[in-house]
Structure formats: C-alpha cells, structure tokens
C-alpha cells in the first residue's frame, strides 16, 4: 500500500483526502516510478478545490508534476534506478498523477532528471518553471535581446513569474516584475528584477495602443493584463502568453499587432513535444542557479497539499510549493 491524495466524486460532490492505495489500482503504463517529490501548480489547486473541471476521470490522484526513481520498466529508454522528471501530458487530469508515493506512467512522457538538480530542486521548478523556460526559449528564438529594452513579467511572484524573472536576468535582460504584493519587492530583486510595478496598472481596461515600453513580455495572467501588456510592447516586440490567473478572456484590439507588428505566441506546456522539453530543461540546468530555488520554494508534506492547493487558488502563495510525498 502507498499514500496518495485521492479525489473522488459522487452525487454529494467532490471529496479530497489522503488515502492508502493498493499498487494494483495504478493505471496502465510501461514505467513505474517511486515518487520522491511532487509540487503544486495552479492547475493542481483547481483540481483539489474543484473550482474548475480539471479532473476528467474519478477517482483521480492529482499532481501534474513528479520527480522520482524508476522501479520497473518495459520501456527501452528507462531502467530501474533511473532518475526521472514528468511534467504535464494530462497526468493529474486523465491519468493518476504525482501527489502519491507511486506512479505508473508512459515512458515517452519522462525526461531524465538533469544532473545539476536534485529531485526536490526539480520540483521547485516543476511545470511552472519549465513553462517559464519555454516562454524564455520562445523570446530568444524570436530574436529578442537585452539591448532592445525592458522585458515585462506579469504575475512575477508566482511560480512561472519567479523562474521567468531569474532566467531572463541570467540572460542579461532588464526585467520589470508586475505584482500585487508590494512587500515582495526585495524577493523579486533577489531573483534579478530591476524594476517592480503594481499589477493594478495593468489589470483594468486600457487603451488599445499605449506608450511603447517593453521589448517583450512573459504573461501568466491573461485577460486585461495581457491586453495592456500587448498595448505597451514596442514596435516588433514579442509576447509569450502561458496563463490565465486573471481570466481566460482576451478583450483586445488588433492595433498592437497590425500597427506595431507585435507578435503574440501561446505557450503550451502540457503536450509540448519532447525536444522542446529537453531544450527547456537544458536551459534551466544552464541558467537557473540551484541556490535560488531555496528562495523560491517552500516544502510541505503530502497531507498539507490539500490546504495548500486552496491557498494557491486564493493567491496566498509566493513562489513554488514542493511536496515531499514521503513526509
């Protein structure tokens, strides 16, 4: 038997609890992993609280991330003892996820744990940090460079934002962090932000075209924040959009795109092909100081993840939450 957070649903609604599970209940897969650490992302908070229909099958073990050790494998790429990381692929939504001591998965979903990170550090990065790396990769591939001007990171104290700030700063960019938490200015500056702005300056409806300021944007917020960010991007600038913390809507004008040649790129981390994943993790291993992860992350035990998921949705969490599933 192993411990797992289990989400069930009946006519009375959704229930979430730490349960003891028999390994025979694990879903189909060609690799079994002893999980060391998982983490909490916004999507995990939605699954745990039931505030959005993230979970598509019940019962479900949430957790879109995990890091651990292969214990059994019928996949040619993996053998017992291999250290692996998983991000996305519908895990925690349609396939049992990482908030458990064991997981059975498809080997094609796995990536080798970079030698520069421990399992705990990999989960301090998690899907949020891996998504941030995909965003930064997109900016660099588009030719955005530090000499072109400031780069805005919205939701800067969140998981995606925190890692994006650190990666951009490491690559020499002048980073502007937008946050609603003025008290976190020192935290963001420690990650590498040079300027802090109040998210309220971006979160209300604004003009279709505004004063040009930013060479590029990493946005995890969506809605009016993304609209205003696009309206402030300089001619030929680029925006990587990966989140919807403010909302899924995009009440925008085409003006920034057809009058200033602004590019808007959606960043998907769930189904991203393996090459993009490998490139993102290579960038994280190269540019993210492991010591910063102690600043970004807070460790909790498995049973604490239920309340922490609710706190995450309520905006009470800074940075990343690492879940020690064996604690």
Residue 280 pLDDT > 90: yes
**pLDDT score at 28:** 96
Q: Are 172 and 146 in contact (CB under 8 A)?
A: yes
Please count the other Cβ atoms lying within 10 Å of the Cβ belonging to residue 234: 18
**pLDDT score at 21:** 97
Q: Are 293 and 125 in contact (CB under 8 A)?
A: yes
Interval 98-127 mean pLDDT: 96
Q: State how many domains the chain has.
A: 2
**Same-domain status, 131 and 203:** yes
Which residue segment(s) compose the domain that 171 sits in?
A: 127-266
Q: What DSSP state is assigned to residue 89? A: T
**Same-domain status, 51 and 146:** no
Residue 273 located in a structural domain = no
**pLDDT score at 301:** 97
Residue 246 located in a structural domain = yes
**Same-domain status, 178 and 139:** yes
CATH code for the domain in which residue 66 is found: 3.90.180.10
**Same-domain status, 174 and 246:** yes
Q: Which residues of 263-272 are buried (b: 16+ CB within 10 A; e: fewer)?
A: bbeebebeeb
Q: Give residue-wise pLDDT tens across range 171-221.
A: 999 999 999 988 889 999 999 999 999 999 999 999 999 999 999 999 999
Q: Are 189 and 210 in contact (CB under 8 A)?
A: no
> What's the rounded Cα separation, in Å, for the pair 280 and 133?
5
**pLDDT score at 79:** 98
Residue 136 located in a structural domain = yes
Q: Angle at CA 210, nearest 5°, toward 205 and 216? A: 100
Q: What DSSP state is assigned to residue 91? A: B
**pLDDT score at 155:** 95
Q: What DSSP state is assigned to residue 130? A: H
> What's the rounded Cα separation, in Å, for the pair 154 and 233?
13
**Same-domain status, 21 and 141:** no
Confidence (pTM): 0.90
Please count the other Cβ atoms lying within 10 Å of the Cβ belonging to residue 2: 18
> What's the rounded Cα separation, in Å, for the pair 130 and 117?
13
**Same-domain status, 134 and 258:** yes
**pLDDT score at 279:** 94
Q: Give residue-wise pLDDT tens across range 47-68.
A: 999 988 899 999 999 999 999 9
Residue 292 pLDDT > 90: no
Residue 75 located in a structural domain = yes
**pLDDT score at 52:** 85
**Same-domain status, 17 and 107:** yes
Mean confidence (pLDDT) of the chain: 95
Residue 296 located in a structural domain = yes
Q: How would you class 235 by CB atoms within 10 Å of its CB: exposed for 0-12, middle for 13-18, buried for 19 or more?
A: exposed
Residue 73 pLDDT > 90: yes
CATH code for the domain in which residue 220 is found: 3.40.50.720
Is the bond leading into 143 cis (omega within 30 degrees of zero)?
no
> What's the rounded Cα separation, in Å, for the pair 120 and 36?
8
**pLDDT score at 325:** 98
Please count the other Cβ atoms lying within 10 Å of the Cβ belonging to residue 145: 14
**Same-domain status, 237 and 318:** no
Residue 54 located in a structural domain = yes
**Same-domain status, 41 and 138:** no
């Amino acid at each position: 038997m192993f411990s797992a957070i289990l989400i069930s649903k009946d006519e009375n609604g959704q229930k979430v609890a730490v349960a003891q599970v028999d390994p025979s209940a694990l879903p189909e897969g060609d690799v079994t992993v002893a999980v060391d650490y998982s983490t909490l992302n916004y999507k995990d908070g939605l699954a745990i609280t039931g505030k959005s229909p993230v979970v598509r099958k019940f019962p479900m073990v949430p957790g879109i991330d995990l890091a651990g050790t292969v214990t059994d494998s019928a996949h040619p790429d993996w053998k017992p003892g291999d250290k692996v990381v998983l991000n996305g692929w519908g895990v925690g939504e349609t396939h049992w996820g990482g908030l458990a001591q064991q997981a059975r998965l498809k080997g094609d979903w796995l990536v080798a744990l970079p030698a520069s990170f421990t399992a705990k550090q990999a989960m301090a990065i998690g899907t949020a940090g891996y998504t941030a790396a995909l965003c930064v990769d997109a900016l660099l591939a588009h030719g955005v460079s530090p000499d072109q001007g400031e780069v805005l990171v919205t939701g800067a104290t969140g998981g995606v934002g925190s890692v994006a700030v650190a990666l951009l700063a490491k690559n020499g960019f002048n980073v502007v962090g937008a946050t609603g938490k003025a008290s976190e200015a020192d935290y963001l500056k420690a990650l590498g932000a040079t300027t802090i702005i109040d998210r309220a300056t971006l979160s209300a409806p604004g003009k279709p075209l505004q004063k040009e300021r930013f060479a590029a944007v990493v946005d995890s917020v969506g809605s009016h924040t993304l609209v205003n960010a696009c309206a402030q991007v300089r001619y030929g600038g680029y925006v990587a959009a990966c989140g919807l913390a403010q909302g899924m809507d995009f009440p925008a004008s085409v003006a920034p795109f057809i009058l200033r040649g602004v590019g808007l790129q959606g960043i998907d981390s769930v189904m991203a092909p393996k090459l993009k994943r490998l490139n993102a993790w290579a960038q994280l291993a190269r540019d993210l100081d492991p010591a910063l992860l102690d600043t970004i992350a807070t460790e909790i035990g498995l049973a604490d993840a239920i309340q922490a998921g609710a706190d995450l949705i309520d905006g009470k969490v800074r940075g990343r939450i690492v879940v020690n599933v064996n604690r």
